[in-house]
Amino acid sequence: MKISCRAPLTRCRYVVVVFLLIAATTAASGGREPRVSKVSSIPAKWDNAHVLLDVCPNGLALLVSRGQPGEAGSFDLWDLDRGKPAFTVTVAASDEHKSIISSLSDCVFRCLDGGKRVVALQPPELVMMEAQRPQDVRWALPSRDFLGPPLLLMSRSRGAGYIIQAGLAVSPSGDLLAAAYNMGKKPSIFLYTADLKRLVRTWELSQLVLVQDICWSPDGKRLAVLYSGEVDAKGNYVGDNPHFHPLGIPDVEVLDPQSGERQLRFFSGDREAKVAFSPDGTRLFTISLRDQSTSLRGDIRIFSASNGKLLKKITSGRFHLHNNFALSPDGRLIVADASGRPPWLPWLQGMLRYGEGAYYNKTARFVVLDVKTGRVVFEHHEVTPGPPDVMHPVVFAFTPDSRRLLVDPNFANCGLGEHVDVYSIDDRR
C-alpha cells in the first residue's frame, strides 16, 4: 500500500512505529525462524517398544530391533548420512542376554565411544555390550543390598505397588556413568567408570521419594536429580487422581558428584517428567508429567540453576506439553511431546485400519519451539496405536550439531508401522 507524504502526521508516526516494532521483533528472534522438514524415515523391525535409544557424540543414532520371535535382537548404529547402519551389535542368544532386549520398558540405554559400546541400566544391574565383541557382556551389580526387591510405593486408592524407572546419565567427558536406583533402603546414586570396572563413589539421596530423572551439567561438575511428584514425603503414591495437584515438597536437587553434597534444592511447582541443563549450564528445564487424556495443562518450565528461581514457562496454545522433551545442543530450539487423545474422526479411521484394538489410539504429536520466544516453529501429528491414558511419550534426540532431529512416535510395542523419522533443521538465523 502506497502511503502519501501528505497523510496526517499521526498516521505516518503510526506506520513508523509498527515498522520499528516488526523490525525489533525480528531482531529479537535472531532473524527468520528455522525451517524444519522431514528428510527420511528409518523403518523398524517387527515387535519393538520405542526404537530410538540415544544419539552418539559422533552423530550415529542408536536404534534397537528385537526381530521376529526366535531371532536374536540387535542394536543398530545408524549412519544418517549414508542411510544405513554403520555397524550392528547383535545380542548373544543366552536367556539373560535376551532379557536386555525384551525388557525395554525397564531399561535405559546409552552409547559410548561413538557407539562402539552400549551400556544399559537393567535394574539392579548395569550391562555393557561391545560392538566388536558381542559375546563379551560385562555386568555390574552395585551391592548385595540390591538383590532384594525394589522400593515400592503403596497406592492409597488402589493398594497396588508402583515402581518408577531408575535413571542413567553419561558425563560430558564420557568417562563416568551416573546410575540412579530406586532400590535398596533409599534411592541412591552410583558413579562408575565408563568401562564398569570400578565403582567410584556412591551415596544415598536425601528423600525417600523416588528418582524420576537425572542429568549432568555441561561442565560435568553438577548432577541434577528430579524426584517423582506423584508421591508424598512419606513415600505414599498419590498420583492416581487425574486432577492431582502437587504437594509442594522440593522435587529438584543439584548435587556435587564428587561429594554428593546438595548445592540447590527447590520445588518445581508441578509434577515433572524430565530435567535437563541448558548448554551453558545456567538454567534447568523441566516438563510436566501427564496422561495424554487428562484435561490438566502441561508446560515447560525454565529455572535458574544457581538459585532455583522460575524464569519462564513455555506453553503451546491448545496443545499440552508433557512427558518428554529435548533441547538442541546450541540451546536455540526445544522439541516437546504434545500428544493427546485423537478426535472422533481419526479414532474411527484408526478403528478401520487397526481393528477393534484401535480404541488404544493416541495422537502422537510433537512441536518444535523457539526457546527465546516460545513460538511453535514446527508441528507434526499422526494417529498411532498406544493407550492415550498412560505415558508412552514420543522419543526425541538432536544430533550434536543441532542440524538434525530424530523423532520416534513410540507405537507402544504394537509392532505396526513403527519407525524413526529424521528431520533437517535449516537454522541460518
pLDDT of residue 155: 35
What does the longest C-alpha to C-alpha distance in the chain come to?
A: 88
Non-local CB neighbours of 399 within 8 Å, separated by 6+ positions:
55, 59, 80, 405, 406
The CB density around residue 139, as the number of other CB atoms within 10 Å, is: 11
pLDDT of residue 170: 94
What is the Cα–Cα distance from 154 to 162, expressed in whole angstroms? 7
Non-local CB neighbours of 155 within 8 Å, separated by 6+ positions:
161, 162, 236, 237, 238, 240
pLDDT of residue 238: 63
What is the Cα–Cα distance from 270 to 226, expressed in whole angstroms? 12
Alpha-carbon radius of gyration of the chain: 23
Q: Nearest to residue 277, comparing CAs of 338, 220, 194, 206? A: 220
Tens of pLDDT, residue by residue, the chain (429 residues): 444 444 444 454 544 444 444 444 444 444 567 888 999 988 876 555 568 888 988 888 888 765 555 555 677 888 999 988 888 777 655 555 555 555 554 578 888 888 788 888 877 788 888 776 766 677 787 766 665 555 554 333 333 344 555 789 999 999 999 998 877 677 889 999 998 889 999 888 876 677 889 999 999 999 999 988 776 656 566 665 545 556 677 889 999 998 889 999 999 988 889 999 999 999 999 999 887 666 677 899 999 999 999 999 998 877 789 989 999 999 999 999 998 766 655 555 555 554 444 445 677 889 999 999 999 999 998 877 666 556 678 899 999 999 999 998 877 655 567 789 999 998 644
CA angle 341–347–349, rounded 5-degree value: 150
Query: Do residues 230 and 238 make contact, with C-beta atoms less than 8 angstroms apart?
Result: yes
What is the Cα–Cα distance from 183 to 188, expressed in whole angstroms? 8
Non-local CB neighbours of 296 within 8 Å, separated by 6+ positions:
242, 243, 244, 288, 290, 320
* DSSP for residue 151: P
Cell for 369? 519451539
Query: Do residues 210 and 165 make contact, with C-beta atoms less than 8 angstroms apart?
Result: no
End-to-end CA distance of the chain: 28
What is the Cα–Cα distance from 414 to 339, expressed in whole angstroms? 17
pLDDT of residue 314: 93
